[in-house]
Structure 1
Amino acid sequence: MFGLIQPCRGRLGATAHELWSAHLCGLCLALRDTAGQPARLATTGDGVVLSLLVAAQRPTATVRRGAGPCPLRSMRTARVVAADDPGITLAASASLAAAAARIHDHARDGDGLAGTRLLRAGATRAAGAVDRAADRTGRRVGFDTAELVESVHRQFALETATRRCPEADGAADGNTERAGALLALIAPTEDAAAAAFRHCAELAGRPENTGTLAEAGRLFGRLTHLLDAVTDRAADGQAGRWNPLTASGTTDAAARSLCLDALTGLRLAVDELTLAPSADAALLRALLVDELAHTVTRTFAGAGGAGGATTARATGTGTAPVEGGGWWRRRRARRQARRRGRRQESWCERCGDCCEACEVCDCGCDC
């Protein structure tokens, strides 16, 4: 799935990964029930974090329901979090709002299908419909998406104001002014994430967690925007699109420093939360601490690489280059597994497809 958090079964373990899948599939079905089949495309791992935040703070277990066969589960049934669960409902609302914001962004930038001349008007109307669906869904659990929509408008205003941006070439690492300018450019994303995280405390009946969750959300939003900017920087430069790193003259090294600081703050915030002793709380810690740290490593390793012909794989003695052909090795491994009569369990079986995304897997799998 898309999103900042893409956990690996090899690192989580079978039990935790099953719980993750229960929340992820529950979010997917909640989006379908809320806004129709196309809305399932808005399913992301980041939305699952909101559902887990609510579940991890409550002493009672989340309600499960049966789900029918799905191609992404190798046509197997599953027990997933119910669509009317408050955490899943909040996650669905935030996911729809994020999807609408991305469609608006593509339409404005002339990027992708939504940005083509023939489809731009239709894409804008579709984004408006998704915004309304997000608002309807959020109101079921007392969440007002107006703050998220306002953040989108603020972000667009900042982008418009900084279209004529300085180049990052020669920028000094650790420059306080540049870091401040970058944080000002991504502040709307931080505020939107803080609003969604903060509401998790209200749904769980944990008012003591409100301030800590707001700070955790702000740091999570910072990581989301920074890592997305690092990933897209080269493509944005070639296409002439706005990028906050280029607009603020921030180097990748400086961005990495900000990400590491955000990771530290997020870990401290998670430690301060009052959570119920449950599997949901353990999974939440694994995602917001371990998996996010792995995502940062993966992102900056990819940004510093040669573009896919050569990848770096973390080993016990350091980082060694691995020539292309990873796709072929995974394909051969799957054929051998089928010959032995072993059925593939899911996308993440033996970490095959996870490693295709991360390229620097250190989970101990043999893919």
Structure 2
Amino acid sequence: MFGIVRPCRHGMCGGLFKEWMAHLCGLCLALRDEHGHASRLVTNYDGLLVSVLTEAQAAESSPHRRAAACALRGFKGADVVEAEGVRLAAAVSLILAAGKIRDHVADGDGVYARRPVAAVAERVAARWSTAGSGTAVAVGFDPEILVRAVEEQTRLEGVPGLRLLELTGPTEAAVAAAFGHTALLADKPHNRESLEEAGRHFGRLAHLLDAVEDLAGDRAAGAYNPLVASGTDLAAARRHCDDALLGLRLAVAELDLERRTLVRALLIKEIGRSVTRAFDMAEAAGGTRTGAESSKKRGREHPKAPHRDPRLKPDPGGLLSVMCAAMACCTCGLYRPPWDEDRYKSCGERCDASGCDACGQCGDCGNCCDCDCCSCDCCDCSCDC
């Protein structure tokens, strides 16, 4: 729901997490102020990277303001980013969310197979696409780049026999364009080439990890998945992800940044964790092959599924499921429905499950947040690095 970058307050220094939250709250408020409360449903973590990159290149390009109290912050005020980078993040989030909704409608996924739901979803997608395009134009970004990428992605999914990296191409192009535009917003045009390269690698990772996470479910439902469509197994997909991680790391190293720490924490550390988490979960679910061949044909059984908490209720589907998903999105994951596997886990348990160096296990701050300003026994330190 929120993307592949999923930072946790236990996984980074207190100062870094505060910076991250300033961008997250800034995006949420920008969506509300320009497009209404309903548009806050498209708030996602990956889109925030364009705001982070804009501020990292030139701090003066991202002014902050004091926001009023919010229930999601314990009815406290907060320092939030109010800049063109946040507006670009809002535009990208709206346009891509609209494209995803249309894709679900076209495929007839879940509740979208019902005509009344599909009709409402189409209207919402059209409204979000128009709103996002308007905001994109206002910050000097051509929205047609994203619209065409979404359309091309849909077209490629109907073409048989394509290789995996051909299928990820439209996503790579869309993210590259958004990342590259932050160089213009920050008045650092010499960064544009490296930012576009970073965007291509990040777009590839986002597409592949989404496919890996959905692999078991897509197989069971007979839905489209790029790994199955291209005949790619998890080992090959992991190699592509590792190559993209290396390319991303090299591209970030070439950037002229005034503030590098948060960018490194998100684009290198957190994405590396996401890769590990996605493939560990896929292998635990028995997704070690693509195509029709089963594990029995290879002489072994699927690994057992992780233990299910007996307190979890079954997902009822239908309107209630959609409403609960919307509630989880509106609260940035603070609310979790009774059938969510993370509902009864503490933050520390969720971090441990995702491979996070959390809850006092990281050793020292330099290993977990790439700073050298302190030496502590927990990532949640008070240094403002």
Shorter-chain TM-score: which interval?
Answer: 0.7 to 0.9
Please report the TM-score for the alignment, with normalisation by the length of structure 1.
0.80
Distance in 2 between residues matched to 1:357 and 1:122, nearest whole Å: 37
Q: Which runs of 5+ in 1 are unaligned?
A: 166-179, 308-320, 329-345
1:356 maps onto 2:350 in alignment = yes
The match for 1:283 is 262
Structure 1 residue 357, shift from structure 2 partner: 7.0
| SS at structure 2 position matched to 1:67 | strand
The match for 1:342 is none
Fraction of identical pairs, as percent: 46
Distance in 1 between residues matched to 2:241 and 2:272, nearest whole Å: 9
Structure 1 residue 355, shift from structure 2 partner: 4.4
Q: How many residues align?
A: 314
| 1:39–1:96 Cα contact (<8 Å) kept | yes
The match for 1:121 is 119
| 1:8–1:354 Cα contact (<8 Å) kept | no
Distance in 2 between residues matched to 1:33 and 1:264, nearest whole Å: 38
The match for 2:302 is none
User: Given residue 94 of structure 2, which amino acid in structure 1 is its aligned partner?
Assistant: L
1:255 maps onto 2:217 in alignment = no
| 1:107–1:116 Cα contact (<8 Å) kept | no
Structure 1 residue 59, shift from structure 2 partner: 4.5
Structure 1 residue 364, shift from structure 2 partner: 3.3
| 2:149–2:171 Cα contact (<8 Å) kept | yes
The structure with the greater share of residues assigned to helix is: 1
After superposition, the Cα gap between the structure-2 partners of 1:26 and 1:355, relative to the gap in structure 1 and judged at 3 Å, is farther
Structure 1 residue 121, shift from structure 2 partner: 2.2
Which residue of 188, 196, 215 maps to 2:170? 188
The match for 1:77 is 77
After superposition, the Cα gap between the structure-2 partners of 1:80 and 1:90, relative to the gap in structure 1 and judged at 3 Å, is same
Distance in 2 between residues matched to 1:62 and 1:354, nearest whole Å: 32
What does the per-residue CA deviation read over 1:130-168, in whole Å, with 9 as the maximum and x for residues that have no partner?
110001111111011101000111111111123xx7xxx
User: Given residue 54 of structure 1, which amino acid in structure 2 is its aligned partner?
Assistant: T
After superposition, the Cα gap between the structure-2 partners of 1:156 and 1:322, relative to the gap in structure 1 and judged at 3 Å, is closer
1:264 maps onto 2:262 in alignment = no
Distance in 1 between residues matched to 2:282 and 2:264, nearest whole Å: 26
1:94 maps onto 2:88 in alignment = no
The match for 2:36 is 36
What does the per-residue CA deviation read over 1:72-98, in whole Å, with 9 as the maximum and x for residues that have no partner?
21222211112xx11001101001111
After superposition, the Cα gap between the structure-2 partners of 1:158 and 1:16, relative to the gap in structure 1 and judged at 3 Å, is same
Distance in 2 between residues matched to 1:200 and 1:252, nearest whole Å: 33
Structure 1 residue 238, shift from structure 2 partner: 1.5
User: Given residue 140 of structure 2, which amino acid in structure 1 is its aligned partner?
Assistant: G
The match for 1:299 is 278
| SS at structure 2 position matched to 1:7 | coil
After superposition, the Cα gap between the structure-2 partners of 1:323 and 1:119, relative to the gap in structure 1 and judged at 3 Å, is closer
Matches within 5 A, 1:1-367: 2-60=2-60, 62-82=62-82, 85-162=83-160, 181-276=163-258, 278=259, 281-306=260-285, 352-353=346-347, 355-356=349-350, 359-365=353-359
Structure 1 residue 354, shift from structure 2 partner: 6.8
Structure 1 residue 186, shift from structure 2 partner: 1.3
Distance in 1 between residues matched to 2:43 and 2:130, nearest whole Å: 17
Structure 1 residue 113, shift from structure 2 partner: 3.2
Distance in 1 between residues matched to 2:58 and 2:347, nearest whole Å: 33
C-alpha RMSD over aligned residues: 2.5
| SS at structure 2 position matched to 1:261 | helix
| SS at structure 2 position matched to 1:118 | helix
Distance in 2 between residues matched to 1:211 and 1:44, nearest whole Å: 25
What does the per-residue CA deviation read over 1:261-292, in whole Å, with 9 as the maximum and x for residues that have no partner?
1000000000000111x3xx210111001110
| 1:347–1:353 Cα contact (<8 Å) kept | no
User: Given residue 64 of structure 2, which amino acid in structure 1 is its aligned partner?
Assistant: R
What does the per-residue CA deviation read over 1:210-251, in whole Å, with 9 as the maximum and x for residues that have no partner?
111111101110000000000101111111211100000000
Structure 1 residue 306, shift from structure 2 partner: 4.3
User: Given residue 210 of structure 1, which amino acid in structure 2 is its aligned partner?
Assistant: R
| 1:31–1:92 Cα contact (<8 Å) kept | yes
Q: Which runs of 5+ in 2 are unaligned?
A: 287-304, 313-332, 336-344, 362-385
Distance in 1 between residues matched to 2:248 and 2:178, nearest whole Å: 15
| 1:327–1:356 Cα contact (<8 Å) kept | no
| SS at structure 2 position matched to 1:34 | helix
The match for 1:169 is none
| SS at structure 1 position matched to 2:116 | coil
Distance in 2 between residues matched to 1:214 and 1:327, nearest whole Å: 46
Distance in 2 between residues matched to 1:159 and 1:282, nearest whole Å: 38
